[in-house]
């Protein structure tokens, strides 16, 4: 996160993008008797079509999503499948390209005639992909793609399988800053962000909220998605010496910024990045384990969570890949749980009934309970995570924290 695909025009860059509480885990489908309408297909596998960015800009998180989907498939098949049928994944590579992802999902639906769909990675790709699904009347559960533009189109078959959308991601960090004594709050802040439809709204929301608290903005700029050299931005930040650097970072840009700041010897008192630090060992390998200490980010999932199936997912991931799971893998697993829960509850592969059921119910996933507004936007909130002593801890909200310790200020780079 191989040959790079052509980028869309700049103005499209990074855009595309209770009722009853039902404990309906994907694995609870195991052993259920198929409905009469499916009896003739009981031996045929259920085929789920997915296009993922396995090469190109989003290859790193796209590959993690693939791992999450595959672990879910293996776990559910070991327990008997969905509606008594084994599950097959038909995964193709969209090369991080908007045109390719449209062609992929069109082919999966019209030529391959897959039974179900799961989403790709990023708002950039899910924006056009979800339009293909909507046109064909197929439920589209996406694991990553929380840009506001995703939910402004009135789609009925779209469901985002994370707790909240991008603008809400900043809230938990701002709330933590509000909880600090006035003397410990940052006086100044810098807001560099990639031109990404998920990362940018997070940073804009944070800037607005912190300015309302009296935190002075000394830098606020958007850099192109293909930026690889951060020396100039880092040099500007070092000259302005903000207490807080809040970066809208996807992955490689987050690593690049830390490396550039380290070379200049500037270490802010607080560092917040969007999704980059959630990439587990890939992030710590990229910036150096010692340089992760005190880095904040918001996250949809925690390895230590006691949510149903989380421990089993973590164990299966570690066994398969000899590493801790990345958030993108967990999000993909949860998206598959949501889809399977709808199929199980309806008792058949009926796209309209599945859509209506998801709009009316809550699904328990390893991310926690997920429910949606009519436009597919989730109703929950994120967690505030921080790297501490080489591992990730949840530090907010307090009732969900895995530690009472918060590293503040951030120590110097190592």
Instruction: Note the pLDDT of residue 42.
Output: 63
Unique residue bearing structure tokens 């084994």: 86
Q: What is the pLDDT of residues 176-223, one digit of tens each?
A: 999 999 999 999 999 999 998 889 999 999 999 999 999 999 999 999
Paired tokens of 222: 């958007």
Sequence-distant (≥ 6) Cβ neighbours of residue 353 within 8 angstroms: 346
Are the C-beta atoms of residues 408 and 184 closer than 8 Å to each other? yes
Among the listed residues 318, 231, 326, 316, the one whose alpha carbon sits nearest the alpha carbon of residue 284? 326
Report the chain's mean pLDDT, rounded to a whole number. Answer: 90
Report d(CA 225, CA 2) in Å as an integer. Answer: 17
Instruction: Note the pLDDT of residue 40.
Output: 53
Instruction: Note the pLDDT of residue 278.
Output: 86
pLDDT > 70? residue 9 = no
Instruction: Note the pLDDT of residue 69.
Output: 98
Instruction: Note the pLDDT of residue 157.
Output: 98
Residue 67 binned pLDDT confidence (cut-offs 50, 70, 90): very high
Residues shown for the chain:
414
Mean pLDDT for 292-318 is: 94
Q: Strand 362-365 vs strand 368-370: parallel, antiparallel, or unpaired?
A: antiparallel
Are the C-beta atoms of residues 143 and 119 closer than 8 Å to each other? yes
SS (H, E, C) the chain: CCCCCCCCCHHHCCCCCCCCEECCCHHHHCCCCCCHHHHHHCCCCEEEEEEECCCCCCHHHHHHHHHHHHHHHHHHHHCCCECCECEEEEEEECCCCHHHHHHHHHHHHHCCCCCEEECCCCHHHHHHHHHHHHHCCCCEEECCCCCHHHHCCCCCCEEECCCCCHHHCCHHHHHHHHHCCHHHCCCEEEEEEECCCCHHHHHHHHHHHHHHCCCEEEEEEEECCCCCCCHHHHHHHHHHCCCEEEEECCCHHHHHHHHHHHHHCCCCCEEEECCHHHCHHHHHHHHCHHHHCCCEEEECCCCCCCCCCHHHHHHHHHHHHCCCCCHHHHHHHHHHHHHHHHHHHHCCCCHHHHHHHHHHCEEEECCEEECECCCCCECCCCEEEEEECCEEEEEECHHHCCCCCCCCCCCCCC
pLDDT > 80? residue 29 = no
Q: What is the pLDDT of residues 382-412, one digit of tens each?
A: 999 999 999 999 999 888 899 999 999 999 9
pLDDT > 60? residue 7 = no
Residue 8 binned pLDDT confidence (cut-offs 50, 70, 90): very low
- Ranking 7-21, 45-59, 231-245, 270-284 by mean pLDDT, the lowest is 7-21
Tell me the CB-side half-sphere exposure of residue 81, using CA atoms within 13 A.
16
Instruction: Note the pLDDT of residue 41.
Output: 57
Are the C-beta atoms of residues 77 and 86 closer than 8 Å to each other? yes
Mean pLDDT for 350-374 is: 97
| CA 367 to centroid of chain Cα atoms | 11
Q: What does pTM read for this prediction?
A: 0.76
């Amino acid at each position: 996160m191989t040959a790079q695909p052509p980028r869309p025009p700049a103005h499209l860059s990074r855009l595309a993008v209770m009722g009853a509480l039902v404990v309906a885990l994907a694995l609870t489908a195991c052993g259920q008797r198929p409905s009469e309408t499916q009896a003739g297909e009981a031996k045929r596998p259920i085929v789920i079509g997915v296009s993922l960015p396995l090469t190109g800009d989003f290859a790193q998180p796209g590959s993690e999503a693939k791992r999450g989907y595959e672990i879910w498939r293996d776990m559910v098949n070991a327990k008997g499948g969905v509606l008594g049928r084994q599950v097959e994944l038909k995964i193709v590579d969209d090369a991080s390209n908007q045109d390719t992802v449209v062609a992929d999902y069109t082919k999966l639906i019209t030529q391959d005639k897959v039974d179900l769909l799961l989403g790709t990675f990023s708002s950039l790709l899910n924006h056009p992909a979800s339009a293909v699904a909507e046109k064909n009347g197929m439920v589209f559960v996406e694991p990553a793609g929380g840009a506001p533009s995703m939910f402004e189109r009135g789609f009925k078959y779209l469901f985002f399988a994370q707790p909240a959308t991008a603008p809400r991601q900043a809230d938990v960090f701002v709330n933590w800053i509000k909880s600090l004594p006035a003397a410990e709050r940052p006086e100044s802040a810098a807001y560099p962000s990639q031109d990404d439809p998920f990362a940018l709204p997070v940073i804009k929301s944070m800037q607005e909220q912190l300015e309302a608290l009296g935190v002075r903005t000394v830098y606020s700029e958007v850099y192109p998605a293909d930026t690889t050299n951060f020396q100039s931005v880092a040099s500007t930040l070092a000259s302005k010496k903000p207490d807080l650097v809040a970066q809208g970072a996807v992955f490689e840009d987050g690593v690049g910024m830390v490396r550039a700041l380290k070379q200049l010897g500037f270490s802010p008192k607080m560092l917040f990045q969007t999704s980059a630090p959630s990439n587990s060992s890939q992030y710590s390998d990229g910036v150096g384990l010692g340089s992760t200490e005190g880095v904040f980010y918001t996250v949809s999932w925690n390895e230590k969570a006691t949510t149903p199936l989380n421990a089993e997912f973590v164990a299966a991931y570690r066994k398969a890949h000899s590493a801790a799971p990345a958030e993108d893998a967990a999000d993909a697993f949860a998206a598959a749980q949501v889809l399977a829960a709808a199929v199980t509850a309806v008792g058949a592969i009926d796209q309209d009934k599945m859509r209506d059921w998801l709009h009316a119910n809550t699904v328990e996933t390893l991310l926690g309970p997920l429910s949606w507004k009519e436009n597919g936007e989730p109703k929950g909130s994120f967690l505030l995570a921080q790297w501490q002593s080489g591992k990730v801890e949840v530090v907010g909200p307090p009732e969900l924290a895995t530690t009472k310790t918060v590293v503040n200020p951030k120590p110097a780079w190592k």
